[in-house]
Amino acid sequence: MTVTTSAGISDNAASAISYFTFVPAIFFLLVSPYKSSNYVRFHAWQSVLLCFSAFVVDIILVSIALLTLFLGSVSLAYTLRMLSLLWLVLWLVCVIQSMNGKRFSIPLLGSIAEKLAMK
């Protein structure tokens, strides 16, 4: 499912690039011809939602870590590291799947992104 746009960037490449922070994702949501592609819009919205949810979860966990800093919670530090590793793996899966032309849907976020892409 590689469709080349008039700018020379395929939908697969645009979808993969949209996962590199929310800035390219918003760019692809606003600029033609990418905003007319349902495939690119889906991955761009999923990227924005993934960035937002990662930010919120990280803020919550760092706040908890700061509150328990004086208690010496080593397990919380390892939990934060594992969560960072999970975010990285999920991000890599999204990039690879979108580059291969697959519509990989993250549970909960993917269904929201699907609804937003249809608008």
H helix and E strand count, the chain: 5, 0
pTM: 0.81
Per-residue pLDDT reduced to its tens digit, 75-112: 777 777 888 899 899 999 999 999 999 989 999 998 89
pLDDT tens figures, 32-41: 888 888 999 9
Residue 64: pLDDT band with limits 50, 70, 90: confident
Displacement of CA 30 from its chain's centroid (Å):
17
The dihedrals phi and psi of 4, each to the nearest 5 degrees, come to -90, 130
Q: How far apart are CA 41 and CA 116, in angstroms?
A: 8
